[in-house]
């Protein structure tokens, strides 16, 4: 079902991102493939006005001016996926956790694989920060935009993440 969907493209340091939105909000963000936007198979109209708030916030995010993305969203998924995606939003900027830790935070300590699958199904990468989840050994693991993009996003957020004030010893 393709209801009233529209798209726009925002240029970013990691390549052009394809944004698809319903009247309720952004439904999908797609990473480039080989540096190019992959257009949906169904011809959607380009609607920069509908996606203006999202593109403005994403530009500010990549410029380091605004790291809180709070535009309207319309992610489609199961109740469990939404539970995982909500938990991803609780991971502080500039920090990472493992799939197992995320499962424990959801009171599902044996569900790290299911959490990983929900993470991989995230239709709103960057906004729902699935890039902040890493392997239990601390290694970067799968990411729809590729591991170099995941590394770039983590480095970018660490550069701008708020830091606690230094406590100087007298």
Percent of the chain topping pLDDT 70: 93
Span 148-166, mean pLDDT?
A: 84
Residue 33: domain span:
4-61
pLDDT, tens digit (0-9, with 9 covering 90-100), for 85-103: 999 999 998 899 999 999 9
Whether the pLDDT of residue 170 is over 70: the answer is no
Q: What's the pLDDT band for 32 if we cut at 50, 70, 90?
A: confident
The residue that leads in pLDDT, 136 or 58, is 58
* pLDDT on residue 114: 94
Which of 61, 85, 109 marks a domain boundary?
61
Q: Is residue 86 part of a domain?
A: yes
Identify the active-site residue in 6, 124, 126, 130: 130
Q: Are residues 9 and 39 in the same domain?
A: yes
pLDDT given for residue 2 in this prediction: 56
What pTM value is reported for the model? 0.88
Residues 8 and 38 both lie in one domain: yes
User: How confident is the model at residue 41, as a pLDDT?
Assistant: 61
Residues 99 and 117: beta-carbon distance below 8 Å? no
pLDDT average, residue stretch 95-119: 93
- Kindly state whether residues 18 and 48 are assigned to the same domain: yes
* Number of domains observed in the structure of the chain: 2
And the tokens for 134?
């890493």
Query: Domain for residue 25, yes or no?
Result: yes
The pairing of strands 97-98 and 133-134 is parallel
Residue tagged 């992610």 (tokens): 75
- Is-catalytic flag, 66? no
Residue 113's domain is classified under what CATH number? 1.10.10.10
CATH of the domain at 37: 3.30.160
* Segment 94-116 mean pLDDT: 93
Secondary structure string (H, E, C) spanning 88-110: HCCCCCCCCEEHHHHHHHCCCCC
Q: Round to whole Å and give the CA distance between 144 and 92.
A: 21
């Amino acid at each position: 079902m393709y209801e009233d969907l529209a798209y726009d493209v925002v240029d970013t340091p990691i390549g052009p991102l394809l944004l698809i939105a319903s009247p309720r909000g952004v439904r999908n963000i797609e990473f480039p493939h080989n540096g190019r936007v992959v257009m949906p198979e169904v011809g959607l109209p380009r609607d920069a006005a509908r996606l203006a708030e999202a593109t403005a916030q994403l530009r500010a995010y990549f410029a380091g001016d605004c790291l809180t993305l709070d535009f309207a969203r319309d992610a489609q998924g199961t109740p469990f996926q939404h539970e995982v995606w909500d938990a991803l939003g609780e991971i502080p900027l500039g920090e990472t956790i493992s799939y197992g830790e995320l499962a424990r935070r959801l009171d599902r300590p044996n569900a790290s694989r299911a959490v990983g699958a929900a993470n991989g199904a995230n239709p709103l990468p960057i906004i729902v920060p699935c890039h902040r989840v890493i392997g239990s050994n601390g290694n970067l693991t799968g990411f729809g935009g590729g591991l170099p993009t995941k590394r770039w996003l983590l480095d970018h957020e660490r550069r701008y993440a708020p830091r606690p004030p230094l406590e100087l010893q007298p």
